[in-house]
Amino acid sequence: MTDPHETSATLCFLSAEEILKRLEGGAVTSSQFVDTCLERIAALDAGGTEIALNSIAAISADARAVARERDEERARGVSRGTLHGVPVLIKDNIEAVGLPGLAGSTALVGRPSRDAGLVTRLRDAGAIILASTNLSQWANIRSPRSTSGYSASGGLVANPWALDRSAGGSSSGCAAALAAGLAPLAVGTETDGSIVCPASVNGVVGLKPTVGAVPTTRVVPISASQDSPGPMGRSVGDVALLYSVLAQSTQPGTVTVPTFAAVTNWRTGHPLTDELFDNVLAELRADGLSIIDREMALPKDQEYRDEGVVLFAELLDDLSAYLGERPGSGVHSLDDVIAYEDQYREREQTYFGHENFITAVLSGGRGGPDYAEARQRNLAWAVDTCLTPGLDGVDVIIAPAYGPSWKSDLVVGGHPGPSSPATMASAIAGWPIMCLPLGLVEGLPVGVAVIGRAHREWTIIEAARRIEGIVRRHHALPSPRWSQPTRG
């Protein structure tokens, strides 16, 4: 089935860079563009429509008013910054005045939202906060049986490439909305895989920056050591533009061609995905990029256990602290959340429970008996055993990210599809990782992960630009064709 709204697609699939050119040249106004985005959301996203992606959690009530204000400022020759008049989506675990900031839970309904630090940066740069996006509830930390993209407050996000397939998680709505052309830019969050996964399976670009590069104030937390908000878009250039605002960082004037290590033993296990990665590697080398093959450490059971211990302990402390200081009445600790979800079990635990929340409470937090040693062991593995030797003599590591998206299954559980271990070490270390499209496998997008050293985002972005240019020449990635349910 072709896109039923081809006219809006002509404008909505433009890059943010091209939109800015048209805004500055007077070819389109911010009001016209926001109207087009909102019309497309109404036609393609909401329940009961012919598409019903369900990627949008709430629309900003002032989006049109802010767009008019940006147009008036532009007419007077005033520009607030590099995103003047461009609409941006934010994941609904990020607070913004006028948006719910629910993290997918009805427990936070009615609690006033303030502007997160990153939202202030967006507004200061002239961006229009268009809407918030649905996500995996509590950013996918609640249960080992959770279904990616599902939340009690927002329902299940669909993948625009195949509506019965998962949009990944936990930044599900961000990636699905971008792939569907509902807005040019979005801000997701990642603890371990929550930007990279949805970027990969929706065929968009996402960057998890170094932990601390983008402020996490007034962002519903999981783990201070691993949480990072990050930019998402449909091109590397758009992600770079948004990153520069979020991190208040500019690309260095001198740009060198990065050197690469391709990880030979980080495979998805999906034959066609891994074959496509190998083919792209050959094309990158043929184009002159310096790429060596390298084996890297693989996580074992101990690493997975240690990461779980760390995440659950930090979740108990960090989420309770956040809930305690957010305005309004209601849940003010993780214990309160558990009690609330038990009281309203029919709507909060319809498909899966909160086993991980219970584990977190029993952990005792950072002061518990297991946290310190687990964190020390986990960090030593990620930095000393894995990333430092993996990056020896090169600028970035590349590996396939995820195989094609799996079918969503609320009854049985999430069943994430084939993936490599590419996100884990950088997540534990708090180092940056980026994902961009490799191409299509049986009509579904797959991505490549690009990993670098802490605070070397611009090197990663430059490496991704090089990959993107070559991939686009050899492996065209069209817009989603709004597929009906798929086989397999």
Catalytic residues: 91, 170, 194
Task: Note whether 154 and 169 are within 8 A (CB).
Answer: no
Q: 478: Cβ–Cβ under 8 A, 6 or more apart, which residues?
A: none
